[in-house]
Amino acid sequence: MNTLSDQQLDELQKDLDAIRDEVLADLGERDANHIRSMVRLHRKLEVGGRLLMPFGFIPPVFLAATASLGLAKILENMEIGHNVMHGQYDWMNDPSLNSQTYEWDTACSSESWRRTHNFEHHTYTNVIGKDRDYGYAVLRLSNDEPWKPRHTFQILNYAALSILFQWGVALHELEAEKLSHGKSHLKEKRPFLRLAAKKAGRQAFKDYVFFPALTLPVAPIVLAGNAGANLIRNLWSSTVIFCGHFTQDAETFTEEEAEGESKGHWYLRQLTGSSNFTGGKWLHIMSGHLSFQIEHHVFPDLPAHRYPEISEKVQTVCRKHGIHYNTGSFGKQYSTVLKRILRYSLPERITRRPAVA
């Protein structure tokens, strides 16, 4: 990890706070219009997808309906739900966009998400042992974690995690790895399990029972389309999220490094532990602007559509302090994620490269 003196860290904090303050002072109708237009688009895609789905016995209609519903779920999860739950729009004082009451269209309950993601992941970003998002306790992505034989074929675990992503996220707080090691008991997890079952049941009921049953003669088509839409969303969101922290140069940290740190040091960790990818406006929107993962981690509660606008300033601050700003095309970043998963499938003694002279 880059080492900056306490004075440099203070300076870094001031520089980043200045960017944040400038955006906060400017929040207004433009931001409200952005999120409301996203919500409106989501409603159109979802209503359109649901209405078209029963006519899915015509193949092109099936594709259109599934794509529409899949895009609706992506937009709602990424650009609306994730961002609203970060409190990006709490200042609007609109009860429909409130971080504490918003419930999103995925198996994981908002309450559990706010605990594991907003708090654990965003506070302890990339701290091995503290940030359970780092590899989701399924993948070994750093030599800080001891190698075990089960890691050899972790690329298959990765594929399974991506396909079933919403269910993995829903059960994240169960901390299954601690249960199996006897570090925690199922009994303590009962309140969580009740909450998880209620939300997951609701989602399964909607997509796999209610809407198929409503259109009984074509139930299998509706069931397949709904499953397809969920699959599209699962693959896309897991891919975007993996590009955010598991690329080649995204750094990891030890618990000691993060212990009692200053705000400046927290900023430094967010800058060096995250990675962006480049693309057009709609790629950013469909990623919930997590394509600007660096900006998101530095300013998790600024409206995400502002990230592209402040990116240049964040890069200037990085250059000033000699901090690497990790970005690249989507294809390039994703290929380094796959390489990382493969590389750490193997123990350190095999993958260690001889030092270049």
Partner 1 sequence: MLAKITPSKAIHWLGRQLLNREDPGAFFDPLTTAINPMWAQQYTPARVERITEETADTKTFVLKPAHRWGGFKAGQHLNVGIDINGVRRTRTFSLSSSPALWRNQGLITLTIKRLPGGLVTNWLHDELKTGDVIGLSEAFGDFLIPEEKRSVLFIAGGSGITPILSHLETMALEDYPGAVTLLYYVRTQSDVIGEERLIALRNRYPSFALNIITTHEGSEPRYLTGQDLDLIPGLADREIFLCGPKGLMELATDQLSQRGVSNDRQHSTFFAPPAPAQLASTDIGGEVTFSKSNLSVDSKGDANLLEIAEAAGLTPRHGCRMGICHQCTCTKTSGTVVNRLTGKTSGSGAESVQLCISVPQGPVALEA
Q: Which of 207, 248, 262 minimizes the C-alpha distance to 66? A: 207
Q: Which is nearer to partner 1, 47 or 156 (CB)?
A: 47
Q: Please report whether residue 262 would count as binding partner 1 according to CB under 8 A.
A: no
Distances (CA, A) of 271 to 240, 245, 307: 17, 11, 14
Rounded (10°) CA dihedral 142, 147, 148, 150? 40
CB of 12 to partner 1, least distance (A): 16
Total of residues contacting partner 1 (CB under 8 A): 45
Residues 151-170 that bind partner 1 (CB under 8 A): none
> How many other CB atoms sit within 10 Å of the CB of residue 17?
15
Q: Which of 317, 278, 319, 327 minimizes the C-alpha distance to 19? A: 317
Q: Which is nearer to partner 1, 6 or 103 (CB)?
A: 103
Q: Which is nearer to partner 1, 125 or 345 (CB)?
A: 125
User: CB–CB of 273/127 below 8 Å?
Assistant: no
Q: Please report whether residue 202 would count as binding partner 1 according to CB under 8 A.
A: yes
Q: Which is nearer to partner 1, 100 or 254 (CB)?
A: 100
In the list 43, 185, 190, 194, the residue contacting partner 1 (rule: CB under 8 A) is 43
Q: Please report whether residue 44 would count as binding partner 1 according to CB under 8 A.
A: yes
Sign of CA dihedral 220, 225, 230, 236: positive
Region of 67-75, 200-208, 220-228, 230-238 interacting with partner 1 (CB under 8 A): 200-208
Q: Please report whether residue 210 would count as binding partner 1 according to CB under 8 A.
A: yes
CB of 199 to partner 1, least distance (A): 8
Residues 86-145 that bind partner 1 (CB under 8 A): 86-87, 90-96, 98-101, 103-105, 114-115, 118-119, 122-123
- Tokens 């030599």 belong to 143
Angstrom distance (rounded) from CA 333 to CA 162: 17
Q: Please report whether residue 244 would count as binding partner 1 according to CB under 8 A.
A: no
What are residue 351's phi and psi, to 5 degrees?
-85, -15
b vs e for 187-221, b when ≥16 Cβ sit within 10 Å of the residue's Cβ? eebeebeebbeebbeebeeebeeebbeebeebeeb
User: CB–CB of 189/176 below 8 Å?
Assistant: no
Q: Please report whether residue 194 would count as binding partner 1 according to CB under 8 A.
A: no
User: CB–CB of 178/167 below 8 Å?
Assistant: no
CB of 6 to partner 1, least distance (A): 18
CB of 277 to partner 1, least distance (A): 24
Q: Which is nearer to partner 1, 115 or 343 (CB)?
A: 115
Helix (H) or strand (E) run with residue 350 in it: helix 348-351
In the list 276, 300, 328, 341, the residue contacting partner 1 (rule: CB under 8 A) is 300
Residues that bind partner 1 (CB under 8 A): 21, 24, 27-33, 36, 39-40, 43-44, 47, 85-87, 90-96, 98-101, 103-105, 114-115, 118-119, 122-123, 202, 205-206, 210, 263, 300-301
